[in-house]
Amino acid sequence: MSRADASAGDEVHDREGADGDGGDDGGPGDMAAQARFALETLAELDAGNGVSLPRLAKRTGLRVSVLLRLYTLMSDARVGDEPGPGWVRLHVDEDGRWIARITPVGRGDEAPAAGDGESTA
């Protein structure tokens, strides 16, 4: 409840609110700030081979489960009839580690595919 009770989370909240865009109500603004921070961190660390979720968790201060949820929403996974934006790809490597990779669309190098979500590639 108090800041003392949440001292382990202070660093994360300070990073999220650094740009002033985090929501004050604890609502969707916080999730948007976390998502933006997670994507920026992935873009910074991914040199083409992907980055393990535990490494990203350590760097961002977010739990692996939160990162997995955020990156899944940023992937091309479908939620209902709507495909995701395709900014991130997730996979499990041969050692059982979750790996996140930022896509060219996630970096802003390519425009997202137009149309109804069908892909020929």
Kindly state whether residue 5 falls inside one of the protein's structural domains: no
- Residues in the chain with pLDDT < 70? 1-29, 111-121
Kindly state whether residue 60 falls inside one of the protein's structural domains: yes
Q: What pLDDT does 20 receive? A: 40
In this prediction the pTM is 0.68
Residue in the structure block whose two tokens are 């929403």: 73
Kindly state whether residue 104 falls inside one of the protein's structural domains: yes
Strands 51-52 vs 78-79: parallel, antiparallel or unpaired: unpaired
Kindly state whether residue 120 falls inside one of the protein's structural domains: no
- Parent domain of 56: 50-108
Q: Could you give the number of structural domains in the chain?
A: 1
Kindly state whether residue 92 falls inside one of the protein's structural domains: yes
Alpha carbons 107 and 89: distance in angstroms, whole number: 12
Kindly state whether residue 8 falls inside one of the protein's structural domains: no
**Which residues are CB-contacts of 3 (< 8 A; sequence separation ≥ 6)?**
10
Kindly state whether residue 67 falls inside one of the protein's structural domains: yes
Kindly state whether residue 68 falls inside one of the protein's structural domains: yes
Q: What is the DSSP letter of 115?
A: S
